[in-house]
A and B are shown apart, each in its own frame.
Chain A
Amino acid sequence: MSRNSADVVVIGGGVVGCAVAFELAQRGCTNVTLIERNTPASGSSGRCGAGVRQQFGTELNCVLAREAVRIFERMDEYLDYEPSVEFRQSGYLMLAFSDHQWEQFLANVALERSLDIDVRTLTCQQALEIVPFLNIDGMVGATFCQEDGHANPFHTTFAYARAARRLGVEILTHTEVTGIEVENDKIRAVVTDRGRIATSTVVNCAGAYSGQVAAMAGIDLPVWGERHQILITEPVEPIMGPMVISFHHDFYCQQVPHGSFIMGIGMPGEPKGYNMHSSVDFLEGMARSLRQLLPPVAQLRVVRQWAGLYDRSPDAQPILGECPPVERFFNANGFSGHGFMLAPIVGVIMADLVTTGSSSIDISKLDAGRFARGELVLEPAVVG
């Protein structure tokens, strides 16, 4: 290990950790060590559907997502990355299957439009113009945002990591954090299986393992792992532009630039845990939902199924910001399935908080203390 001290230690080399490390270095804070126990994107970042959307039901989420999209739009240039993070704004088509859901969508759209997010409400017929083979049986309507899209999660994470390194961030891979020394509520050091790094500032970007990391600093953080499964098909010529999402079926499906379809469904009753094995129940459930909603896509062959972990919080919303009583222990976790899409703006916000104490977007509502205060953030738009 080269450095035995750092101004900031970032724990976790997923897309969030790498974005935070980069943004810190961008602000001149280059004495940063990022600790990753495997390799960048080996965890949830490398397993996720990698959709990027702005269609949310709370103002804060909409604003965060909107700002993230703006960074995604110029990311290759911003991070000076080749070949490309492959961000495609092919849109998100969200389907409503009940009047109640449709009303929620209308409320979301009104909110989104008020925040400069260009979303349209669609009739079922209009939805068919975008995805002609969609099965609209039972559908009430849809919403569509053209600027939503999809990126390559590996390239995105590697782009941030590479840019961070270029600015002087030290990234330690295959290194595991084993302890965090705290004295009088001040951080003294992060201890790893390869040595000790003296520091006063930690940013906890450990995804599904953020609870364990926080516990090392004596903090009780309600973040846990929850398996989500996903599969990918053989590639075909481009036939479907947008990500298609149905909350009613807990279903999403996207054709990626390579031509394959990536898709997932939520499995009811999935226990808390760190199991990343695949199940046949998922495979069957996925195939049947797909056959129901996008029949021609079911004529493709599945090439691989795998699983990853959502870092879940009690209200399925991110946990951001400093975490009293421990000074300068910052959380950037709990994303519950929308971490990838928010990573660029989370990087900016965390770096601002760490270096200046404030950020341009007020994220105080997403602090770790909200659970004890009973102030859960209820976001209606989350998917399996």
Chain B
Amino acid sequence: MAEREKSPDDNIVICRCEDVTLAEIRELIAQGYHTIDEIKRVSRAGMGPCQGRTCRQLIARELAIALGVPVEQVEMPTFRPPSRPVLLSTIARGEADE
């Protein structure tokens, strides 16, 4: 792949957990990844500690614009436990004292 020229989009961070920029998101959409799930899987946007809370709406907006559909038609990935990262040793311990 030829080196793309830098654009302002390279300095706009969409997923701050995994450092994915708007330029990368737009590039992936142009390559044919038209769902948040696919973009997540190929770029890791949404796989960090906040699990997409910050970026999914921004990515949805980009998809809506690129695909010419209303934002509500952009399918949302689901949320899974845990709501925030938990130490596995804590889970193993359960309610037992140390």
Q: In the complex, A touching B, CB below 8 Å?
A: yes
Q: What residues make up the interface of A, taking CB atoms closer than 8 Å to B?
A: 39-42, 46, 82, 154-155, 158, 233-234, 258, 278, 280, 283-284, 286-288, 290-291, 297-306
List, in ascending order, chain A residues with CB within 8 A of B26's CB: none
Q: Of B35, B48, B82, which is in contact with the most chain A CB atoms at under 10 Å from its CB?
A: B82
List, in ascending order, chain B residues with CB within 8 A of A39's CB: 34-35, 37-38
List, in ascending order, chain B residues with CB within 8 A of A40's CB: 38
Known pairs A39-B38, A306-B80; A287 contacts B88 (CB<8 A): yes
- Whether B49 sits at the interface, judged by CB under 8 Å, is yes
- Whether B30 sits at the interface, judged by CB under 8 Å, is no
Please report the C-alpha to C-alpha distance between residue A301 and residue B87 in the assembled complex, in whole angstroms. 4
List, in ascending order, chain A residues with CB within 8 A of B91's CB: 283-284, 287, 302
Taking a contact as CB atoms closer than 8 A, the residue among A42, A258, A278 that contacts B37 in the complex is: A42
- Whether B41 sits at the interface, judged by CB under 8 Å, is yes
Q: Is the CB of A302 within 8 A of B94?
A: no
List, in ascending order, chain A residues with CB within 8 A of B35's CB: 39
Q: Is the CB of A302 within 8 A of B92?
A: no
Q: What residues make up the interface of B, taking CB atoms closer than 8 Å to A?
A: 1, 34-35, 37-38, 41-42, 44, 47-49, 51, 80-82, 85-89, 91-92, 94
Q: Is the CB of A291 within 8 A of B80?
A: no
| Smallest CB gap from A232: residue in B | B47
Known pairs A39-B35, A284-B91; A301 contacts B41 (CB<8 A): no
Known pairs A39-B38, A82-B1, A158-B42; A299 contacts B89 (CB<8 A): yes
Q: Is the CB of B88 within 8 A of A300?
A: yes
Known pairs A284-B94, A288-B92; A300 contacts B87 (CB<8 A): yes
Please report the C-alpha to C-alpha distance between residue A304 and residue B51 in the assembled complex, in whole angstroms. 8
Q: Is the CB of B82 within 8 A of A298?
A: no
Known pairs A46-B41, A303-B51; A298 contacts B92 (CB<8 A): yes
| Smallest CB gap from A279: residue in B | B81
Q: Is the CB of A291 within 8 A of B89?
A: yes
List, in ascending order, chain A residues with CB within 8 A of B88's CB: 233, 286-287, 290-291, 297-302
List, in ascending order, chain B residues with CB within 8 A of A304's CB: 47, 51, 80-82
List, in ascending order, chain B residues with CB within 8 A of A278's CB: 80-81
Q: Of B38, B44, B47, which is in contact with the most chain A CB atoms at under 10 Å from its CB?
A: B38
Known pairs A283-B81, A303-B49, A303-B51; A154 contacts B89 (CB<8 A): no
B91 to A: closest C-beta gap in Å: 4
| Smallest CB gap from B17: residue in A | A303
Q: Of A39, A233, A286, A300, which is in contact with the most chain B CB atoms at under 10 Å from its CB?
A: A39
User: What are 18 A-B contacts with C-beta separation under 8 Å?
Assistant: A41-B41, A234-B49, A258-B44, A278-B81, A280-B81, A283-B81, A284-B91, A284-B92, A287-B89, A287-B91, A291-B88, A298-B89, A301-B85, A302-B82, A302-B85, A302-B91, A304-B81, A305-B81
List, in ascending order, chain B residues with CB within 8 A of A42's CB: 37
List, in ascending order, chain B residues with CB within 8 A of A301's CB: 85-88
A172 to B: closest C-beta gap in Å: 13
List, in ascending order, chain A residues with CB within 8 A of B34's CB: 39
List, in ascending order, chain B residues with CB within 8 A of A284's CB: 91-92, 94
Please report the C-alpha to C-alpha distance between residue A300 and residue B87 in the assembled complex, in whole angstroms. 6
List, in ascending order, chain A residues with CB within 8 A of B38's CB: 39-41, 158
| Smallest CB gap from A291: residue in B | B92
Please report the C-alpha to C-alpha distance between residue A283 and residue B34 in the assembled complex, in whole angstroms. 32
Q: Of A233, A284, A302, which is in contact with the most chain B CB atoms at under 10 Å from its CB?
A: A302
Q: Of A40, A283, A303, A306, which is in contact with the most chain B CB atoms at under 10 Å from its CB?
A: A303
Q: Is the CB of A305 within 8 A of B42?
A: no
B81 to A: closest C-beta gap in Å: 6
List, in ascending order, chain B residues with CB within 8 A of A291's CB: 88-89, 92
Q: Is the CB of B49 within 8 A of A154?
A: no
List, in ascending order, chain B residues with CB within 8 A of A299's CB: 87-89
Q: Of B34, B47, B48, which is in contact with the most chain A CB atoms at under 10 Å from its CB?
A: B47
Please report the C-alpha to C-alpha distance between residue A258 and residue B81 in the assembled complex, in whole angstroms. 21
List, in ascending order, chain B residues with CB within 8 A of A41's CB: 38, 41
List, in ascending order, chain A residues with CB within 8 A of B47's CB: 303-304
List, in ascending order, chain B residues with CB within 8 A of A46's CB: 37, 41
A36 to B: closest C-beta gap in Å: 12
A19 to B: closest C-beta gap in Å: 17
List, in ascending order, chain A residues with CB within 8 A of B82's CB: 302-305
Q: Of B34, B42, B89, which is in contact with the most chain A CB atoms at under 10 Å from its CB?
A: B89
| Smallest CB gap from A260: residue in B | B47
